A and B are shown apart, each in its own frame.
Chain A
Amino acid sequence: MKESCFTLEKIRTLTEDTCELILRGDTSAITRPGQFVNLALPEKFLRRPISVCDWWEDTLVLLIRAVGEGSRCLTQSRPGTVFNVLSGLGNGFATSSAGARPVLVGGGVGAAPLYGLARRMAQVGTAPTVALGFRRAVDALYIREFEALGCRVMTATEDGSLGTRGFVTDSMAEACWDYAYVCGPTPMLRAVCDLPWLTDGQYSFEARMGCGFGACMGCSISTVHGSRRVCKDGPIFTREEIVW
């Protein structure tokens, strides 16, 4: 964990409620895809935990969906805005434990940490297959970015306006994979976890956090190993640890 300042360099609108933020600052504490940063906002008391989409040298990429006041305020920020950031939080994905045929499964803005993961997997071997689910075609994001890494992207939308009609699990109803990296809304995590043929994987959880670094116990969840903090012991939990 490191406290430092990041300056917003560029903000790009991806969908009607989601933006890509490119920030400059010290990324040295970020060691794994799937970790998160905790941004302080001048008008809010609690920091806002945001999953790292990607990072290199002094560049940090975040995808933020405006769902509440805090995230809305982030998506309306102007270039030049300086944020106090706690970076390098959480455990992140462990790429070493993947099986031979991994698939990355994302729901909505949950695609964010999977991109940083996919880029690193592509760098050291082959670009993984990615399954992305969205509500409608206009909500789809980062498909081209994944494709640019060489990933095969399977898409599902709830209204059928893009790709397979249905949930992300409907787009991947072929048992070609033995390991999943998953990030998205909780019902989606659970649906992927329940796929009988997908025996193993890592799932990114979210929770309302007080501190984001393991001190306040605000985000504890039950696992088969007992209570675990989403912010410190997670946010990535393996399939066998999860208690729904």
Chain B
Amino acid sequence: MVDLSVTLAGVKLKNPIIPASGTFGYGREYAELYDLNVLGSFSFKGTTEEPRFGNLQPRIAEAPAGMLNAVGLQNPGIDAVIDQEVPHMATLFHGPLIANVGGFSLREYEDNCRKLNDCAPVGILEVNISCPNVHAGGQNFGSDARSAAQVTRAVRAVTDKPVFIKLSPNVGDIGAIARACEEAGANGICLINTVLAMRIDLDRRRPLLANRTGGLSGPAIFPIAVRMVWDVYEAVKIPIIGCGGVASAEDAAELMMAGAAAVEVGAANLRDPYTCKKIIEALPALCSRLGVNKISELTGGAHT
């Protein structure tokens, strides 16, 4: 029997597979297909203080081995999420949920985290300082070490729950940013968010996405995620949730060997809604092949 369980800053998950925020909604659509309790956890749609419609259409574009999205943090706002979505999610998934928290100011990040602190079903706060699709927010905080540390310190002060900071790949020194978050009190790091990208419609001679740019996700960015998780593993001691282009159990193991303690699966869910379930089912055999009895032994396994 292979032990698939992992522990993230004291929060035990039955396995390391977590659907990534923004690709899993609040779980409803996937719960029609399979029992969500097979999952390690799931990171629900990014939450902001106010309801947001997000960007104009079109928001989605094809890319080689991936896709671009410019949804722009569409969500009903934190109060509706806490009143309606969290209780419903708790009926679909009985383990600890991951709340992805957005924000446009330090105060908003603080307020959102303070409100979520009283939500029992939420086990981990994943603070998103890396959304490429909202202006004057999100990524601005994640683009340098000083502001990333500022957000970390602010939210750390208002919650008892473990705080994971979700970092952007669209930066220079990812190790320095991760280290700044760790020093500011982060309990973990989640990376990578989508890679800033763009497509142009040849016939219209205009950007394909109404937002002009979007975030690239899918297998195209997987090697970038492996490299950046590796770099962050070298830079910090706190646990890492690896994310970016994972589509198979092998991808998940690779990201764990780079340094991830758990793995988020994003765009792959949109093409094949059963992806997470299939990965989880394939993990025991893969662990046996790789010669580990506990999947957590894979974490950082490629480092010397």
Residue ranges of B at the interface with A (Cβ–Cβ < 8 Å): 22-25, 28-30, 32-33, 45, 53-54, 57-67, 69, 71, 74, 218-219, 267, 269-274
A-B contact pairs, 29 of them (CB 8 A): A1-B29, A1-B32, A3-B33, A3-B272, A3-B274, A40-B272, A45-B64, A45-B67, A45-B271, A46-B271, A70-B62, A210-B23, A210-B69, A211-B29, A211-B270, A213-B273, A214-B25, A215-B29, A215-B30, A215-B269, A215-B270, A216-B25, A216-B71, A217-B59, A217-B71, A218-B69, A220-B74, A227-B53, A227-B74
Q: Which residues of A contact B (CB under 8 A)?
A: 1, 3, 40, 44-47, 69-70, 84, 86, 207-211, 213-222, 227, 232
Interchain nearest-CB distance for A108 vs B (Å): 17
Q: What chain A residues lie within 8 Å of B270 (beta carbons)?
A: 46, 210-211, 215-216
B24 — which chain A residues lie within 8 A by C-beta? 215
CB <8 Å contact, B271 and A47 = yes
Given A46-B271, A215-B269, A217-B45, A210 and B53 touching (CB < 8 A)?
no
B58 and A207 contact, CB distance less than 8 A = yes
Q: For the complex, give the distance between the alpha carbons of A46 and B251 in Å.
A: 19
Interface of B is mostly: loop
Q: Point out the residue from B45, B54, B60, B219 that lies within 8 Å of A209, measured CB to CB.
A: B60
Chain A neighbourhood of B62, CB < 8 A: 44-46, 69-70
Given contacts A3-B274, A40-B271, A214-B28, A219 and B59 within 8 Å (CB-CB): yes
Instruction: Other than A40-B271, A208-B58, give 11 A-B pairs with Cβ distance below 8 A.
Output: A45-B63, A45-B271, A47-B271, A84-B272, A208-B59, A210-B69, A214-B28, A218-B69, A219-B60, A220-B54, A220-B59
Q: Which of A3, A216, A222, A232 contacts B53 (CB 8 A)?
A: A222
Min distance, Cβ A243 to any Cβ of chain B, angstroms: 11
For A1, the chain B residues whose CB sits under 8 A away are: 29, 32-33
Chain B minimum-CB-distance residue to A214: B29
Q: Among the interface residues A86, A209, A220, A232, which one has the most CB atoms of the partner chain B within 10 A?
A: A220
